[in-house]
Structure 1
Amino acid sequence: MDHSDSAHQRRGALLAAFACTLVGASFTANSVLSDFPHAGGQAIRYALASLMLFPLVGRPGLAPLRTLGWRGWGWLAGLAGVGMVGFNLAVLAAERTSEPAVPGVFVGCAPVVIAVIVPALDGRRPARAVLCGALLVAAGAFTVQGWGRADLPGIAWSVAALGGEVVFALAALPVLRTVGPVLLSAAASAVAAVEALVLAVLMDGRGWLRMPDAGEGAALLWQTLVVTVIGFVCWYRGMQRIGPERATLFSGLIPVAAAITAPAVGAGGYGPAQAAGSLLVGTGVAVGSGAFGQRLRGRRRERVVASGAPGVAADARAPAPARRGTARGAGGAAAGPEPGPPGSPAKAPPAGRAPRAARSAPGDGAPSGAGPREG
């Protein structure tokens, strides 16, 4: 992995971590909206978010939506209905009969599910590091939140919330490749607003919406601007860079951020259990994202360079294209004298053939080719 690719991966990890931290901090805002019409509130939230996001795309940027076809719009409808509106309704329903920690624990298992499903869809085995990291993240989420009081309906709705979290990651993949993070967030928010409006009218009738008070208005504005507009775009940009398996690992930061911010509004405390769980989540993210492996490989490379072995230090510091160019000349012929057996003098090139100069690879001394495409 070269430096540009490493920086690309690091930016993706930071974006995913930032998005999940915003979502976790928004849990305190959700408690303010417990008495507000939920489906109607979601309809307003997503409608306002789409109105903010579409101008960022611009009219020329809307062209990819015409190429989605019925299948692409089906993925968008599933993403909005199950991963956005359905997820929020499932969490609310679970919290009516169980403590909030119960759906939080189930949603904390999303990294494990993603780590198994995504490789299976690609016809490969789960990466051992990602799976181990996902298990650590799930254990950390459980430690941070605890279990709490639960009943059968609460557990069933919590499982539904877990399904919504998984769909939120997986259903975006086919569309993300075509439309990009910003347009995806704008289109999904618009579809979610329509779906939430239909549910609101069916569930609450004429009372599907009312004027929010100051606290409810601030909470809706936070969900709209911070969580949806900023958080969604950062999440999908991060997932575009590092993939859903590693991006979902950072969802373990959601309960950690919620536990850290809860004391600010008197909704909980941050004690030894939360600190231990946060440490588990951080370890799981580091293991699953490959941070430990990259550090070990970097140290091993430094030891090889510092060992001073003949021909190793200089070769390790040289770019890969340069090593290939200096090892062989044009046509694959040896560029210099041919080595003989150990202790014997080097053989000269065949008579009548002058030694060919080593052909420099294109871009020697500078990064060759373009780096990873930005989202």
Structure 2
Amino acid sequence: MTSSAPAPAPVRAGNAAGLALAATACVLVGASFTAGSVLTAYPHAGGQALRYALAALLLIPLAARGALPRLRALTVRQWLRLTLLAAVGMAGFNLAVLAAERTAEPAVPGVLAGCAPVLVAVLAPALDGRRPGRAVTLGAVTVAAGAFVIQGWGRTDGAGLAWSVAALGGEAGFALLAVPVLRPLGPRLLSAVACALAAAECAALGLLLDGRAWLRAPEPAEAAALLWQAAVVTVAGFVCWYAAIQRVGAERATLCSGLIPVSAALTAPLAGAPAPGPAQVAGVALVAAGVALGVRAPAPSAPGGRRPGPHAARPGHRAPAP
């Protein structure tokens, strides 16, 4: 949303809709951790290849209108960015979490990934030629603290910590790498292309790491979990996430990633984990406070004093509908 003067209340209707989309996406991702616990015995790269391939097939009808001209207009650099987005933010993130959990308790990569709002709050404005907003940065730190309180900290070694940091990079890259290609593609087409690329990358990794064992027929529970991850978490979640970034920018949207551990904690009892306790309730309060603080900050100013929307259109350019 673009305005020539600061609005009296930063959280306007468009911003509220964008934050609702970001929150929905993050709640779905958090719930996916419970489904993922069913897939621990399934070939990881092969499972992710199936997930992203199915998601791409489901997204194609939603993104087909006007897709070919927009894809043909992409530059080589933009295609490379899309490939990197799929490799870092999707395939890389999932593989980093899996590698971290071999020598670290799941809370360790979870807490590090919960620091993504802080990283994005610093890097997003820097990439846009701005200074980090104080309120957004403070809100991001508060959200990260809430994620830590919800999940706690677990045992780890150097390798587990290193892979957890890699997962943090993947989580931040999932938002930051998408920003320059979100305008020409829109949320639906971007999600479809990224899923297709991630499916190919995961298949190649599976063949490289697992050979002929990279893929097998899933058991009924595994098939249900893969279908949930593909149809709900990936299709609905990705489109909501990128539509949110289109409306409110990467900094504010990523604040809602603090809801991922909240959703994971609330759905964990479905997989036999203990119900959330007082620490989780306190963590939820911190996350809520951080999001409220960050989203009520004034809209960022671009160099030269302009106050663009999160993705101001170029002159003569009409941004695609979500």
Q: How does the TM-score come out when normalised to structure 1?
A: 0.77
Q: CA deviation at 1:82?
A: 0.8
Query: Is residue 53 from structure 1 mapped to residue 59 from structure 2 by the alignment?
Result: yes
Q: Which residue of 2 aligns with 1:63?
A: 69
Q: Structure 1 residues 268, 75: closer, same or farther in 2, change over 3 A?
A: farther
Query: Is residue 25 from structure 1 mapped to residue 28 from structure 2 by the alignment?
Result: no
Q: CA deviation at 1:265?
A: 1.9
Equivalent AA in structure 1 for residue 93 of structure 2 = F
Aligned match for 1:266, one of 272, 278, 289: 272
SS for the counterpart of 2:12 is: helix
Query: Is residue 161 from structure 1 mapped to residue 161 from structure 2 by the alignment?
Result: no
Aligned match for 1:213, one of 213, 219, 223: 219
Q: Structure 1 residues 102, 205: closer, same or farther in 2, change over 3 A?
A: same
CA contact (8 A) 2:105 2:155 kept: yes
Q: Structure 1 residues 130, 2: closer, same or farther in 2, change over 3 A?
A: closer
CA distance in 2, matches of 1:127, 1:16: 20
Q: CA deviation at 1:166?
A: 1.0
Aligned match for 1:245, one of 248, 251, 261: 251
Aligned match for 2:130, one of 100, 121, 124: 124
Equivalent AA in structure 1 for residue 36 of structure 2 = N
CA distance in 1, matches of 2:119, 2:241: 18
Query: Is residue 177 from structure 1 mapped to residue 183 from structure 2 by the alignment?
Result: yes
> What's the CA shift string for 1:110-144, capped at 9, x where partnerless?
00011111111222211111001001000000000
**Structure 2: 5+ residue runs without aligned partners?**
1-6, 300-318
Q: Which residue of 2 aligns with 1:303?
A: none
SS for the counterpart of 2:208 is: helix
Q: Which residue of 1 aligns with 2:240?
A: 234
Equivalent AA in structure 1 for residue 54 of structure 2 = L
Q: Which residues in structure 2 correspond to 1:1-375 (within 5 Å)?
A: 1=7, 6-290=12-296, 375=322
CA contact (8 A) 1:62 1:183 kept: no
Q: CA deviation at 1:58?
A: 2.1
CA contact (8 A) 1:169 1:244 kept: yes
> What's the CA shift string for 1:154-201, capped at 9, x where partnerless?
000000000101111111011101100000000000011111110000
Q: Structure 1 residues 77, 273: closer, same or farther in 2, change over 3 A?
A: same
CA distance in 2, matches of 1:31, 1:268: 15
CA contact (8 A) 1:19 1:231 kept: yes
Q: Which residue of 1 aligns with 2:307?
A: none
SS for the counterpart of 2:216 is: coil
SS for the counterpart of 1:26 is: helix
**Structure 1: 5+ residue runs without aligned partners?**
295-371
Q: How does the TM-score come out when normalised to structure 2?
A: 0.89
SS for the counterpart of 1:202 is: helix
Q: Compare 120-129 and 144-153 and name the one that shifted more.
A: 120-129
> What's the CA shift string for 1:246-300, capped at 9, x where partnerless?
0000000000100011112212330000000000000000000017x89xxxxxx
CA distance in 1, matches of 2:64, 2:140: 38
CA contact (8 A) 1:28 1:267 kept: no
Q: Structure 1 residues 5, 259: closer, same or farther in 2, change over 3 A?
A: closer
CA contact (8 A) 2:183 2:320 kept: no
Q: CA deviation at 1:3?
A: 9.2
Q: CA deviation at 1:225?
A: 0.3
Q: Structure 1 residues 202, 373: closer, same or farther in 2, change over 3 A?
A: closer
Equivalent AA in structure 2 for residue 91 of structure 1 = V
CA distance in 2, matches of 1:271, 1:5: 32
CA radius of gyration, larger in? 1
CA contact (8 A) 2:184 2:320 kept: no
CA distance in 1, matches of 2:157, 2:37: 21
Q: Compare 101-110 and 282-291 and name the one that shifted more.
A: 282-291
> What's the CA shift string for 1:218-260, capped at 9, x where partnerless?
1000100011100000000011000000000000000010001
CA contact (8 A) 1:24 1:254 kept: yes
**Deviation beyond 6 Å, 4+ runs, structure 1:** 2-5
The root-mean-square deviation of aligned C-alpha atoms, in Å, is 1.8
Equivalent AA in structure 1 for residue 205 of structure 2 = L
Q: CA deviation at 1:373?
A: 8.5
